[in-house]
A = this chain, B = another copy of it.
Amino acid sequence: MTSKTVFEKLDLAPAYRQVSDSVEKMIRSGRLSLGDWLPPETELAAQLGVNRSTVREGLRGLEHAGLVRRDGKRLKVAIPHYTELASRASRALVMHQVTFRELSEAAAALETITAIFAAQRIDEGGIRALENNLKEMKARLNDIDSVVSLDIEFHNLLAEYADNRALSLAREPISLLFYPAGKIILTRLKTQKRILDAHKRIVALVRKHDEAGVRAWMERHMADLKRGYERTGIDMNRPMDSAV
């Protein structure tokens, strides 16, 4: 048996780490809440008993994480937004050499369930937004870049009206990578018309709140995109990094 422990195990983490942890705790505990300004660096340094340079190092981490945001000169407490997290996540997927096969499978599942929820919950405004998207795409059917970005917008609209933030967070990093792949497909096989037709069908079914129909058509639509990719001749099991 060792002798009685007298001394606390003292800080192994570098000071700048303790600074960011400390501020983060402050935020999580609610002592600093959303939109509050952070104290000036000098004051933080004084309160925490470290040098201002050390404080700055700590703040950079939080800034990068999106927990504090620049508003003019000073920093204010913020909430990391999905899009930042999503872009970070999709970059991680690329670095992990995720394949199109993986993306396609995940996207099929997520876009389908998203569309089903949208069919349950969409309102008139949502229907109109989707129809505008269809109209736009119809008008620009020859411009591949427009079609691709309108395709992205279509799925994002569905996600918006699906009214589920957990699902949004889950699908965003994947759609961010999946749809660029759509561009590869479109530039090689001109399947814009096929995409537009699928979207039209889906909108019609969403309007009728026909969940089963939406499921069937979204699954068909996603399978179609996968087939398109296969027909480009690119190996499905090749990492996506070239596409990004």
Which A residues are closer than 8 A to B by beta carbons?
16, 20, 28, 53, 56-58, 60-66, 79-82, 85, 88-89, 91-93, 95-96, 98, 102-103, 105-107, 109-110, 113, 117, 164-167, 169-171, 173-174, 177
A64 surroundings in chain B (CB, below 8 A): 20, 60-62, 64-65
Interface centre among A16, A106, A117 (most CB of B within 10 A): A106
Give the oligomeric copy count.
Answer: 2
Closest chain B residue to A85, Cβ basis = B89
Q: Label chain A's interface by main secondary structure.
A: helix
Q: Is the CB of A109 within 8 A of B110?
A: yes
- In the complex, chain B residues whose CB is within 8 Å of the CB of A92: 66, 79-82, 85, 169
CB distance from A213 to the nearest CB of B (A): 18
> When the two chains form their complex, are residues A167 and B102 in contact, meaning their CB atoms are under 8 A apart?
yes
**Beyond A106-B164, A166-B105, A170-B170, is A16–B88 a contact (Cβ under 8 Å)?**
no
By CB atoms of chain B within 10 A, which of A92, A165, A166, A174 has the most? A166
Q: Which residues of B contact A164 (CB under 8 A)?
A: 102, 105-106
Q: Are B89 and A167 in contact (CB under 8 A)?
A: no
Inter-subunit contact A105/B82 (CB<8 Å):
no
Closest 4 CB pairs of A and B: A61-B64, A109-B113, A106-B166, A170-B170
- Across the interface, A102 reaches (CB within 8 A) one of B89, B91, B166, namely B166
Q: Which residue of B lies closest to A109 (CB)?
A: B113
Q: In the bound complex, what is the Cα–Cα distance between A169 and B102 (angstroms)?
A: 11
- Bound Cα distance A28, B94 (Å): 10
Pick the residue among B62, B80, B117, B169 that contacts A105 (CB under 8 A). B117
Measured between alpha carbons, how far is A190 from B167 in the docked complex, in Å? 29
